[in-house]
Amino acid sequence: MGQRLFLLLRLCALPVVFFACSNSGTANTAPPGEDAAPADAGPDDVPAPEDTPEPVDAPAAVPSSVETAAPATVRAGQAITVTCTLRDALGNALPTPVGATPTIAFVAPDAVRDESGRTLAVRVGEVTAACSFPTLSLSDATPARVAITPGDAARVTTTLDRASIAAGETATATCAVTDAFGNAVTGAPATLRLDPAGMGATVTGLAARIERAGMYTASCVVPGATGEGAALTVRPGLPATLVIARSPDMPTYALGASVDIQATVSDRYGNRIPDAMLSYASSPMAAVAGSLLTFEREGRYTVTVRVGGATEGGRELVQTTSFVVDSSGPAIECVGPAHGSMLNAAAGSMVTFQARLADTTGVRSVTVNGRAATANDSGEVSVPITTRWGVNFVDVTATDTDGRENSRTCAFLASDRWNGEAAHLTDGAQMLLRQDAVDDGDPTTPITSIDDVLQRVVNSQGLRDQLHSSLLAANPLKASSCDQQVCVFGRCTCVFRSEVNYERSELNGPNTTSLSLVDGGLRAVVRFENIRVRLRIGGTLSTSGWVDVASVEVGVTFDLASSGGSPRATVRPGSVTTSVGRISTDFSGITGAIVDIVVSLANGTVRNLVANTLRDYVSSNFSRVLDGVLSGLDISSLGATFNVPRLDGATPTPLRFGVNVSSVSDTAARLRFGLGTLLSTAAPAHARASRGIALPPGDTGEPTVSTPATVAVHVAVLNQAMHSLWRGGWLDVGLPASRFSSSLPAGSRFDVTGLLPPVAFLRADGRINLDLGALEVAFTMPGVAQPFRISVGARASGAVSLSGNTLRFGGVTLDEVKISITSESIPMSERDGLVMGVRALVQQYAERSLNDALPAIPIPGFTIPESLRSYGLPVGAELGIRSPSLGNARQRFELRGGFGQR
């Protein structure tokens, strides 16, 4: 047998007419009617026997069937690679004849899509692929079956179990996640995010319990997926508290004065109830028109306000306020702008100040800010004044015909821009990142740039596992088939058969990433080097070897935008690019046709599988990681609630802090995130009218980006905090007067009411100014029945420094002080001590307002979420500004420093 096989193989080298040798289905034959002879016969050539039959042509191998090969499983978005193989009657693979082109029919066709010459899987389910050769009248009766599974999470839809809840109730979300083609994705980790966040809202899993009334957006957050959130309305609960205030707020009113009794009704969580039922009554009787009361007789009045209808716990809600109507001495009323009011006026503008004087004997003279003015027959005085931003003071002194003098300082707050008391301050806190915070070119531990996060992704075990799984799923890379056959007298025998399978792969690296700022987003370029794929050849020969890919480079651009209350990163359409470096093979002991097969596989199937797998991994996982990191933007330096100690040592005033993402913008020079801030009191202590938070001028322009990371916090955030403290009654305290002046008698007391919130602005020299106005002080002494009334205002200034995450205001000085004592009956022996005590009181108000209102400066940062643990990232760590220094510009506290893991 061995000799016959040797003879057969020897004869295969000759173009004899007795038989034909076939290589890959191609017969070697001589033309009919001609003798076949070797071109150069040698001593080893075997002559044809003399008794051989007449020469015949060996029949050419005829295709008799078609075989379809396709991967058993693909994910939506991946290409389905289908191979069509012609086989003869013995099952041997044949080359495709010239002019024969296969067609591939898919069932169901809507499960796939043609895109740039590739067939993409798009709909989950099973699809069959069948090859056919119409010109050969052959088709595959046993199509290949391909299971399509969902792709990466791309869209998330949020639905709530109810669209409206009462404060303190809970709404639960359902997150429907789909891939880019609308297929449902199960098991995707989802968290719930509220916009605005904080502010008495507690999220547990996918349930949110919210105490603050207002409009919210609840959004499911799934890394790599975008989607709009669901609207949620939170209504106030039942009335639980009632507070009232007089406008104008004066201890004594002239005859005929009208007083507006302002009332605020709130639920148990401090939410205002604007449509609460209210009733007003006065004792003695007065003319009542809604909340406006007019008094035509002298005397002490008490006005009672009562809430009607259902209340929290069925309790009775009643408040009273008492005051005196009198006309002894010239009564001075600040009519417009009213004392303790807020005026919408730009700094430097002219406004008309009006005061009303009342005295039974008549007014002899009046001065306004030290200049003589004239009162008309009705006692009204009008003078033009120039406003400044902040608290304005107007000193009015009147003398009646009997020579009795009275003086008063009227204070009002002026600004031409306001932020709603219950509205977020747009870009109250900003974080700006320079290119070296995006990528500092030095992948290190701990993380010092965003690119360091991506560097861990490309060197993670997850990438190696995905490349291995993708290549393994493509087996066999070459199905078992005959590569060389021998045909004798029309009968063919395969002498060389092969099958090629993937075994394992190596990503030896270095694998490097770079991340660059581009307009509207970030451009990532990933380079994988020294990739090795080990293949196993089976069949006639059995051996293994390597396919070496020098490099694969993948580029992708991510668009950055705000969605669902957080920054999101998505792949920019058409931005993904791939390039493959040199490919070589290393298989020992094989030559000839099998080398050609391996080289063809390496430069075709293996090349495409490796490149496509790395491309898909980078685009999907980088999107997921960037999205996960950026969506963790928050401010952790301030808690959702914090307490501010009171001047009188009583129970601290609670404040609530909330944020939302107000803007995301990206240029080739910087990446900027803006956070809207909102501070509010948990329970309002009074119902004084407010235009909102005053915004100082000079805040135009973007913060300067001179370091890797810059955090800019608007001074109006401090004003938000002080406004909330004012609303919560933080200014309204009772204090022993002897604490501020040892010359005041023991047992004397200061009871302070703040009609205006403190406001601050940054000066050009870097110091901060603080305005205090309309502080009404009732000074009581032992043995004196009625308190002495003092009206106080001041402008203070101080130096600003940074200690950790806390702003410190030192060297606070009173640059301007207004003290108006409305009673002349205070003994002169007490007056000097009283003035000293009041100044010390105002000094403490200024220092504590600046230093206690914000326990920490709100510094944005990115918290790495639990969903990114699989990449080896430090879950829970915060990325943000490091080692900051402080500089002030454009009404912002600007922190400049490095960037990285804090």
The pLDDT score that the predictor gives to residue 592 is 67
Which CATH code for domain 341-416? 2.60.40.10
Residue 45 reports pLDDT greater than 50: no
Q: Tens digit of pLDDT for each residue in 815-829?
A: 999 988 866 556 666
Cα distance between residue 373 and residue 420, in whole Å = 37
Specify the 3-state DSSP secondary structure of 832: helix
The pLDDT score that the predictor gives to residue 1 is 41
What average pLDDT does the chain have? 86
Closest by alpha carbon to 365, among 338, 337, 402, 336? Answer: 402
**More confidently predicted of 194 and 31:** 194
Residue 782: how many other CB atoms lie within 10 Å: 9
**More confidently predicted of 42 and 284:** 284
* 218-233: average pLDDT: 90
Give the phi and the psi of residue 40 in degrees, each rounded to 5. Answer: -135, 95
Q: In the structure, what pLDDT confidence band is assigned to residue 48 with cuts at 50, 70 and 90?
A: very low
CB neighbour class for 274 (10 Å; exposed up to 12, middle 13-18, buried from 19)? exposed
Closest by alpha carbon to 793, among 321, 185, 339, 157? Answer: 339
Percent pLDDT > 90 in the chain is 54
* 557-574 b/e (C-beta count within 10 Å ≥ 16 → b): bbbbebbbbbbbbbbbee
Closest by alpha carbon to 260, among 283, 290, 284? Answer: 290
Residue 189: how many other CB atoms lie within 10 Å: 15
Q: Tens digit of pLDDT for each residue in 68-96?
A: 988 888 999 888 888 898 888 888 778 78
Residue 158 reports pLDDT greater than 60: yes
The pLDDT score that the predictor gives to residue 825 is 57
Q: In the structure, what pLDDT confidence band is assigned to residue 787 with cuts at 50, 70 and 90?
A: confident
Decide: 792 and 842 in contact? Cβ < 8 Å: yes
C-alpha atoms less than 13 angstroms from C-alpha of 144 in its C-beta half-sphere: 23
Q: In the structure, what pLDDT confidence band is assigned to residue 636 with cuts at 50, 70 and 90?
A: confident
* 335-349: average pLDDT: 95
Q: Which of 433-447, 522-536, 555-569, 851-865 holds the top average pLDDT? A: 522-536
Residue 275: how many other CB atoms lie within 10 Å: 8
Contacts of 536 (CB under 8 A, 6+ apart): 500, 501, 502, 503, 543, 544
Residue 3 reports pLDDT greater than 60: no
Amino acid at 208: A
Residue 22 reports pLDDT greater than 50: no
Domain 419-433+635-897, architecture per CATH: Super Roll (3.15)
Q: Tens digit of pLDDT for each residue in 848-865?
A: 999 999 888 899 999 998
Give the phi and the psi of residue 866 in degrees, each rounded to 5. Answer: -60, -30
Q: Tens digit of pLDDT for each residue in 425-458?
A: 999 999 999 999 999 998 877 899 999 999 988 9
* 116-129 b/e (C-beta count within 10 Å ≥ 16 → b): eeebbbbbbeebbb
Q: Which two tokens stand for residue 496?
A: 């060389």
* 780-792: average pLDDT: 86
Specify the 3-state DSSP secondary structure of 52: coil
Residue 770 reports pLDDT greater than 80: yes
| Fold agreement (155-235, 341-416) | yes
The pLDDT score that the predictor gives to residue 531 is 96
* 749-763: average pLDDT: 96
The pLDDT score that the predictor gives to residue 40 is 38
CA angle, 859 as apex, 856 and 860 as ends, to 5°?
150
User: Cα dist. 722→40, 218, 734 in Å?
Assistant: 106, 29, 19
The pLDDT score that the predictor gives to residue 19 is 32
Calculate the dihedral angle through the C-alpha atoms of 437, 443, 447, 451, rounding to the nearest 10 degrees: 50
* 510-528: average pLDDT: 95
Residue 16 reports pLDDT greater than 60: no
Give the phi and the psi of residue 645 in degrees, each rounded to 5. Answer: -65, 145
Residue 324 reports pLDDT greater than 70: yes
Q: Which two tokens stand for residue 519?
A: 């307009």
Q: In the structure, what pLDDT confidence band is assigned to residue 682 with cuts at 50, 70 and 90?
A: confident
The pLDDT score that the predictor gives to residue 331 is 77
Q: How many residues does the chain have?
A: 902
* 645-654: average pLDDT: 92
Amino acid at 452: D
Instruction: Tell me if the domain spanning 61-148 has CATH number 2.60.40.10.
Output: yes
Percent pLDDT > 70 in the chain is 91
Closest by alpha carbon to 248, among 257, 236, 256? Answer: 257
Cα distance between residue 763 and residue 715, in whole Å = 11
Q: In the structure, what pLDDT confidence band is assigned to residue 591 with cuts at 50, 70 and 90?
A: low
Contacts of 705 (CB under 8 A, 6+ apart): 432, 434, 669, 670
Q: In the structure, what pLDDT confidence band is assigned to residue 362 with cuts at 50, 70 and 90?
A: confident
Q: What is the DSSP letter of 843?
A: H
Residue 757 reports pLDDT greater than 70: yes
DSSP 667-723: -SS-EEEEEEEEEEESS---------EE--S---SPPP--SSEEEEEEHHHHHHHHH
Instruction: Kindly list the domain boundaries of the chain, sorted by start residue.
Output: 1-54, 61-148, 155-235, 341-416, 419-433+635-897, 435-484+496-631
* 251-275: average pLDDT: 86
Q: Which residues pair with 370 in a beta bridge?
A: none
Q: Which two tokens stand for residue 597?
A: 């097969």
The pLDDT score that the predictor gives to residue 46 is 39
Helix (H) or strand (E) holding 437: helix 435-438
Residue 34 reports pLDDT greater than 60: no
**More confidently predicted of 269 and 498:** 269
Of 21-25, 95-99, 618-622, 671-675, minimum mean pLDDT range:
21-25
Q: In the structure, what pLDDT confidence band is assigned to residue 883 with cuts at 50, 70 and 90?
A: very high
Instruction: Tell me if the domain spanning 435-484+496-631 has CATH number 3.40.50.300.
Output: no
Residue 20 reports pLDDT greater than 70: no
DSSP 726-742: HHTTTT--EEEGGGT-T
The pLDDT score that the predictor gives to residue 327 is 61
**More confidently predicted of 116 and 583:** 583
The pLDDT score that the predictor gives to residue 860 is 93
Could you tell me how far CA 103 lies from the centroid of its own chain? 49
Specify the 3-state DSSP secondary structure of 101: coil
The pLDDT score that the predictor gives to residue 58 is 45
C-alpha atoms less than 13 angstroms from C-alpha of 253 in its C-beta half-sphere: 26
The pLDDT score that the predictor gives to residue 329 is 58
Report the topology of domain 155-235.
Immunoglobulin-like (2.60.40)
Beta strand spans in 458-576 (E):
478-488, 491-507, 512-518, 521-539, 543-563, 566-571
The pLDDT score that the predictor gives to residue 156 is 93
Contacts of 31 (CB under 8 A, 6+ apart): none
Q: Which of 492-496, 618-622, 811-815 holds the top average pLDDT? A: 811-815
